[in-house]
Structure 1
Amino acid sequence: MHRFFAALLAVSGCASIAQAQSTDPAHTGPSLTLDKALDLAGATSPSIQVASAGIRSTDAARTIAGLRPNPSIVTQTENVTGSGQYRGLRSAETTVGLELPVELGGKRSARIAVAGARGQRAVIAAAVARADVRLAVTQSYIEAIAAERRLTTAGEQSGIATGALRAARVRVKAGRASPMEEQRAEVVRINAEAAVERATRTQEVARGNLARRIGQPITGKLDLAWFDRVSGYGPTQLIDPGSTLTMTAARADVATADAQVGLARSQRIPDIRLSAGARRLAATNDTAAVFGVSIPFPIFNNGSAAIAQARAERDQSDAMSRVIAIETAQAIAASEAEVANAAMTALTASGPALVAAQEAARIARIGYREGKFGQLDLLDAERTLSEIRAAAIDALAAYHDAQARRDRLTTAAPDLTRD
């Protein structure tokens, strides 16, 4: 007898996943895998478009930073609108010249360094946007496929409740049970049908949310085999926090702050303006060359306050990067443990526990029809099966969600080598 039940458990364990897949809601069109959903979302996501525009903006800013100051055309008229011989324009002397600003202290190279650092930060921001979109699409996919599984389970439970109601009616008509059993079975059936309606609405919302993420309607099935697949149950991986997007972004912020310090230092040295022109002398109608040099005199603002501000912001970025390093290492360790625990829970919930509950419910149905078990025994077995099925779906969804969040946290930084 024990060998018979062991063999029965093994057979039902192999058939449990196939049974769940065979009762999925019908959808026309090709199936939508997670990889396909990620590709579609990457091509239409506004967040990625925003990040791409940010890269183009920093590229333009770097070009602007490398430009030299424009020269100026200077025109000056003297000895006009005075008195005596200087009345009106009779003694006017006009000077026309060209003024050229000359940057000193390495301001141009400092601007280019700041623009280059901001450009690398924009590249990292684009990678962060892609990683965030990947996480959001994966989570929407998990919600949609879990909702589809819940609808399948609710439909199966509704069918079971309808069968139990028919069995109760047969027992009542045969005089083997009281009418109370039929009423209880009717209540269970009504509740099961209501659960189907709720699951249907939830599935429609989840598929709609996924469709909005990928930018097109979903007409086919989702990848149920991917949802059932559990991996990563074992020792945690050793991941270097320094290679993650979060730490790379923090280092880029420090590099930008360093460049800002260099720019502030370069601005302490005042620029000069060289001018050259020609003057027409009204008295003799001759022309003479005019040369000039303009040098600012930094009395009130010598740039020391700007340097102090830039250094403080650099210290702030450096301290923040150390904080982020600690928090990232802790988050990675916690996520690895969470993935391992979720994998163990999913394997347990969708494996031996589900197989045992399915077999117990099957035996209870047979025994109830044959009059060997009471209705309360049947209802208890069915309720247990329903709860374990729901727990198995929740466990699989939690596992995939934990894995997606771990992958987002450990996403490697892009290559920052740019022409």
Structure 2
Amino acid sequence: MHRLFAALLAATPCASIAQAQTAPPADAGATQPQVAAPAISGPAFTVDRALELAGVVSPALEAASADVRAAEAGRRVAGLRPNPTITVEAENVAGSGQYRGTQSLEATTSLALPLELGGKRSARIAVADARTDRATIQAAIAKADLRLSVIRAYAEAASAERRLVIARDQAHIAGEGRRAARVRVQAGRASPLEAERANVALVNAEAALVREERAVEVSRFTLSRIIGQPFAGPLDANWFDHVPATHGPLRPIDSTGTLMMAAANADFASADASVRLARSQRIPDLTLGAGARRFEQTNDTAAIFSLSIPIPLFNNGRAAVSQATAERQSADARRRLAAIDVDQAVAWAQAEAANAATNAAAASGPALAAAEEAARIARIGYREGKFGQLDLLDAERTLAQTRAAAVDALLSYHVAQAQLERLTARAPIIQGE
């Protein structure tokens, strides 16, 4: 019987699980351990609600929104033309001789208007537009990152609650095992060593229960910090247990239009616009001036016209063009590298999500059912004296490990699926494109 029981356990592949909260099947002559309900009660706090709350209080979204507004303001600044300059001059005044006082005063009032040449204004606008587009994409990236963080924190909190249920169940089972061991020892059917083993198993189960209670507190606190407020009620167990069936090969991978590629393209567009701006800066601007001069002695006036142009003697703009060109080449290389990285990351994320879904879908398969049946048989056999205590402890340990593996598989699936959604998130449509 012992060999048959061991073979049954060895044939049980470690799987995952939606039935992680299910207690072992009832037996007519056995005391059935009940799965304790979570200490947290009330309506379920859903992941959609968590996402909604996080979107309202997220500092990352607030910062991204401010960056977009700053970029839009920068676009308006880039479109402004240079301000004109009014100059008032007084000559031949407060001197000596005939220039004493204001009798020889010559007052000049002139207006100077800078004229930008070489398309500087349109080049500035192009750079500002590219930066605005990049800020818009970055805001979408911040939103996608926040969604990933919320789902990961929610899944970790849900898995902690599920492990707490398992830990309570195991502590209850360990208590029942200690009572059964004491009965056997008192009846002279077992040595006192069995009672001590049962005590050790109970102590370990209670310690594990305390650890899982702390894990629940920490995971719920972490989620509450992300959403900006504490929340009541258990998490949505249906969401945590839901795993779609996955069949067939992985979906075709196309990084075009994803947030990562949109960001890389926006960086290149900004660098390209900067090259155009650097080239336009090489063309000197003109400053036109016009004014009037009044002569105090004769009370006559005369018009004044001026034209000034800087001489590009020391800085002709070539270095700035070389710098901008190198930065554009770097941005282009990073864009091509991003395409490779995104494709690889999506492929791995698809594989991880599919593998986790396959493991999680095995919850209703033979692994968990076999572990539960083995534990049930071991409990009955132990009470009837057909199995030893070590067989019982081994069966209970296998059941606990199978349930824990089930929770791990569900957690891995939700995290992998969230990561896949983050990688394949589509970029927003930029106005003007």
Q: Distance in 1 between matches of 2:84 and 2:102?
A: 29
Please tell me whether the aligned partners of residues 349 and 391 of structure 1 are also in contact (alpha carbons under 8 angstroms). no
User: For 1:41-63, what per-residue CA distance to the aligned partner results, in whole angstroms no more than 9, with x for missing partners?
Assistant: 11111100100011100111111
Whether 1:241 and 2:255 are equivalent positions in the alignment is yes
TM-score by length of 1: 0.93
CA apart distance, 1:253:
0.6
Q: Distance in 2 between matches of 1:387 and 1:19?
A: 14
Match of 1:19 among 6, 19, 22: 22
Match of 1:111 among 117, 120, 124: 124
Q: Distance in 1 between matches of 2:35 and 2:142?
A: 37
Whether 1:320 and 2:323 are equivalent positions in the alignment is no
CA apart distance, 1:391:
1.2
Whether 1:214 and 2:227 are equivalent positions in the alignment is yes
CA apart distance, 1:330:
1.2
CA apart distance, 1:418:
5.4
User: For 1:300-325, what per-residue CA distance to the aligned partner results, in whole angstroms no more than 9, with x for missing partners?
Assistant: 21212111111111111001101111
Partner of 1:403: 417
Q: Distance in 2 between matches of 1:282 and 1:212?
A: 76
Counting only pairs closer than 5 Å after superposition, residues 154-193 of structure 1 correspond to structure 2 as 154-193=167-206
User: For 1:332-358, what per-residue CA distance to the aligned partner results, in whole angstroms no more than 9, with x for missing partners?
Assistant: 111111111222222336642111111
Counterpart of 1:336, as a letter, is Q
Equivalent pairs counted in the alignment come to: 410
Sequence identity (%): 59
Partner of 2:402: 388
Tell which deviates more after alignment, 292-301 or 142-151: 292-301
Q: Distance in 2 between matches of 1:363 and 1:28?
A: 33
Counterpart of 1:113, as a letter, is A
Match of 2:70 among 57, 69, 73: 57
Tell which deviates more after alignment, 223-232 or 407-416: 223-232
Counting only pairs closer than 5 Å after superposition, residues 227-306 of structure 1 correspond to structure 2 as 227-231=240-244, 233-234=246-247, 235-306=249-320
Could you say what secondary structure the match of 1:316 adopts? helix
Taking a change above 3 Å as real, the CA distance of residues 197 and 358 of structure 1, as seen in their structure-2 partners, is: same
Partner of 1:195: 208
CA apart distance, 1:14:
11
Tell which deviates more after alignment, 348-357 or 267-276: 348-357
Q: Which has the higher contact order (CA 8 A, sep 6+)?
A: 2
CA apart distance, 1:266:
1.3
Could you say what secondary structure the match of 1:126 adopts? helix
User: Unaligned regions of 5+ residues in structure 2, if any?
Assistant: 1-7, 24-33
User: Unaligned regions of 5+ residues in structure 1, if any?
Assistant: none
- CA RMSD in angstroms, aligned pairs only: 2.2
CA apart distance, 1:232:
5.3
Partner of 2:236: 223
TM-score by length of 2: 0.90
Q: Distance in 2 between matches of 1:14 and 1:70?
A: 70
Q: Distance in 2 between matches of 1:94 and 1:250?
A: 58
Could you say what secondary structure the match of 2:111 adopts? strand
User: For 1:177-235, what per-residue CA distance to the aligned partner results, in whole angstroms no more than 9, with x for missing partners?
Assistant: 11111111011111111110010001100001001111121201111111112225222
Taking a change above 3 Å as real, the CA distance of residues 383 and 17 of structure 1, as seen in their structure-2 partners, is: closer
Partner of 2:112: 99
Counting only pairs closer than 5 Å after superposition, residues 34-49 of structure 1 correspond to structure 2 as 34-49=47-62
Taking a change above 3 Å as real, the CA distance of residues 285 and 83 of structure 1, as seen in their structure-2 partners, is: same
Please tell me whether the aligned partners of residues 66 and 112 of structure 1 are also in contact (alpha carbons under 8 angstroms). yes
Q: Distance in 2 between matches of 1:17 and 1:171?
A: 30
Counting only pairs closer than 5 Å after superposition, residues 345-364 of structure 1 correspond to structure 2 as 345-348=359-362, 351-364=365-378
Tell which deviates more after alignment, 354-363 or 73-82: 73-82
Partner of 2:83: 70
Counting only pairs closer than 5 Å after superposition, residues 120-159 of structure 1 correspond to structure 2 as 120-159=133-172
Q: Distance in 1 between matches of 2:428 and 2:168?
A: 46
Please tell me whether the aligned partners of residues 117 and 252 of structure 1 are also in contact (alpha carbons under 8 angstroms). yes
Tell which deviates more after alignment, 322-331 or 226-235: 226-235
Could you say what secondary structure the match of 1:373 adopts? coil
User: For 1:57-87, what per-residue CA distance to the aligned partner results, in whole angstroms no more than 9, with x for missing partners?
Assistant: 0111111111111111101122234443224
